[in-house]
Amino acid sequence: MALYLSAGKPASPLFPNHPELQVSTKSTIPYRADVDGLRALAVLPVLFFHAELGFPGGFVGVDIFFVISGFLIGSLVVAEIQNGTFHMMDFWERRIRRIFPALAVVVIVTFLAGAIWMVPQHFAELGQSIISQPLLVANFYFWKQSGYFETGAEFQPLLHTWSLAVEEQFYLFFPLVMIFFMRWGIAVVRTAVLVFIAGSLAWSIYGSARYTDISFFLIPSRIWELDLGVMLALLPKRKVALPVLDNLLGWTGIAAIAWSVFFYDVNTTFPGYAALLPCLGAILLIYSNSHSPNSTGRLLGTKPLVFVGKISYSLYLWHWPVIVFLKYTLINEVSSLHLAGALVLSFLLACLSWKYVETPFRKKVLCGKRKQLFAVAGTISILFIIFGTVLYKTDGIPDRFPEEVSRHRRIPSPFDNIAQLKEFVVTGNLPAVGGDPELVENKMVLWGDSHAMCLLPTFDRLGKEKEVAILAAVEPGVCPIAETYSAGNAHDNEDPGSSVLRYVEANQIKHVLMSSRWDLYVFGMPGGDKGRLLCDANTRSKTSEESARIFVEYLRKNVTRLNEMGVKVWFMRDVGMQPRSVPETVAQAASRGMDLNSFAISASEIRERVKPINLLIDEALDGLEVTILDPIPHLTDDSGLYLMAKDGKAIFNDRDHLSPFGSTLLSPLFMPVIEAAANE
């Protein structure tokens, strides 16, 4: 094991008064082939998962890597601290030699490929992700940009580097924490690590159910995985082998990893409880083989697995950009054979990267002196920041393509910064568009989330034409149903929906239009994020079944109350979700000289997708005085195609939010609403 704890050895120079820290003079840890084999067991499921070749829970390979990394780095750092040979500059030189060279090559190649193939918006986003690499904040960037399992992630060739950022953030403070606690002895160190594990795991369990993206990408919910490996490194060296027990533990570890790889999927709430299984599986494999290899250790130590383990870092780095650019160039014509070929190419690139980049830097054949290494790494890092900034600030260098391509991008709405419900609850005033509420007697309330906000440009225009003041009761991610809350938020003393109802009653508003991404609050996000599931004052929704009940009950209650106030209720069904982010897809089609709707799907497919939520809506509104508005016919052409673009313009700003132009296509749908309010 890493610590070489034994009585009778010289005391550590750093801790001369603590005999429990007495160690051997060794400062390296023995090589273990089974750990390299475990790396292979971690990286292969990730590859097959990303290539959509089975392994639905293959993403857990990253968690196994965290455990391995915590064990190896923890072993080395603790041993060096005990020996008095630890130096922070040595530590970071090793980390840079291990991580940076191969990553830099991948980033450079990705940049060059992006310059050739990526439409401006994607190239600008690549610039931001390049900036995040040397700043060690890639996980923060991708958390804000898109969910790991979202379709938009397929446009992010450096998405997988979020896990590298998590590790490096951990190692920014890990040695300092170890040095601090080691002053009080190994028992205190173990206790401290256990506290970190408990706190991080508790947050991971809590946060994963409510703030899925935050918990997935950011370090607080991942510390425990790395610290499990560290705790294993802190255990005393085993003096005897227990063959029967070791074999049992080893195969239990294999089974735990296999179960998570084959029975988890993108809808599994993760990390949280679910991450325990693969992490504990990795711990059991490492521990059961720590004295001598058992049958699982001999399996993991076979040459093919060991070789894959040795190239696993480069393999992890290369596979995702290869898959992304394959899909980018072929768009919707990617087959399993193509993806298998992408993995073969990834293996070839990984072998080259391991032999000609990783190994020479680690063995100091290249940049043998620390000053040389730091100078080269620093220069490249600065260049990454400069080039990334250029891409971002120039909107992806649109001059690379004809204007027909570069003009397809997300168009901000003039109402993106409109005052939202949080402010309304404090001030009691709803912002108005279309007309001045102080001068116009005819008023209506548009009540909803970000999908309702997308409609404001059209309501602004129609309101001005008909002299109707549109009062905007809007807040992204907040369902427009009073007395309900999102599962990810603590119950407030007063929900904004109830404030909206009181405002409507006090101001004698006669027309209310409700618009929202309704399915978000019942079924969650496609990647398994359940943070927006509806709950009420007595229920913290954990399942869609609970949220469906609350949705039907309280939607009916809200509309009934509005009816009792004498309010005419207009209810808009959702626009559904496109298969791909629309502006970029339209730009890709334009770059190939294709019809802008080449990758659109049929309206019937969209209707099938929104059918579950529409059935709940119909159940809730049955028998009530409400007019239901359906936007789908207004966004469908004569052939039944649900359009991505019309008249050369993108209809959506992403997969599900209408662009300002797209909202104008719904003018005929809203005209009866405006006219009714104008004639009140």
The pLDDT-based confidence of 150 (bands split at 50, 70, 90) is: low
Tokens (6 digits) for 668: 């005929």
Res 541: pLDDT = 66
Phi-psi region of 428 (alpha: psi -120 to 50; beta: other; left: phi over 0): left
Res 16: pLDDT = 33
The DSSP code for 111 is H
| Distance separating alpha carbons of residues 406 and 40, to the nearest angstrom | 42
Neighbour-count burial for 35-51, b at 16+ CB within 10 Å, e otherwise: bbbbbbbbbbbbbbbbb
pLDDT at 1 over 50: no
Tokens (6 digits) for 70: 């915590």
Chain segment 401-433, per-residue pLDDT in tens: 888 887 777 777 777 778 777 777 767 778 888
| Distance separating alpha carbons of residues 540 and 528, to the nearest angstrom | 17
Task: Select from 454, 539, 444 the least CA-distant residue to 491.
Answer: 539
Chain segment 13-42, per-residue pLDDT in tens: 333 333 333 333 344 678 899 999 999 999
Half-sphere exposure of 647 (CA within 13 A, CB side): 6
Greater model confidence, 594 or 16: 594
Greater model confidence, 251 or 475: 251
Asked if residue 297 lies in contact with residue 36, where contact means CB atoms within 8 angstroms, the answer is no
Q: Which residues touch 151 (CB under 8 Å, ≥6 apart)?
A: 526, 579, 580, 581, 655
Res 614: pLDDT = 96
Res 479: pLDDT = 92
pLDDT at 211 over 90: no
Res 6: pLDDT = 28
Q: Which amino acid is at 531?
A: G
Reduced to 3 states, what is the DSSP secondary structure of residue 435?
Answer: coil
Res 488: pLDDT = 67
Chain segment 647-656, per-residue pLDDT in tens: 999 999 988 9
Angle in degrees, CA 417, 423, 427, rounded to 5: 130
Q: Which residues touch 596 (CB under 8 Å, ≥6 apart)?
A: 408, 586, 589, 590, 644, 645, 648
**pLDDT > 70: percent of the chain:** 93
Reduced to 3 states, what is the DSSP secondary structure of residue 135?
Answer: coil
- The enclosing H or E element of 162 equals helix 162-182
pLDDT at 637 over 60: yes
Q: Residue 304: is it exposed, middle or buried by C-beta count within 10 angstroms (0-12/13-18/19+)?
A: exposed
Q: Residue 399: is it exposed, middle or buried by C-beta count within 10 angstroms (0-12/13-18/19+)?
A: exposed
| Arithmetic mean of pLDDT, 186-211 | 92
What domains lie within the chain, and their CATH numbers? 55-83+136-349 (no CATH), 421-576+603-643+658-678 (3.40.50.1110)
Lowest mean pLDDT among 65-69, 275-279, 301-305, 582-586: 582-586
**pLDDT > 90: percent of the chain:** 68
How many Å separate Cα 53 from the centre of its chain? 21
pLDDT mean across residues, the chain? 88
| Distance separating alpha carbons of residues 32 and 289, to the nearest angstrom | 9
| Distance separating alpha carbons of residues 600 and 586, to the nearest angstrom | 9
The pLDDT-based confidence of 437 (bands split at 50, 70, 90) is: confident
Chain segment 507-530, per-residue pLDDT in tens: 999 999 999 999 999 988 766 667
Q: What is the pTM of this model?
A: 0.83
Res 148: pLDDT = 55
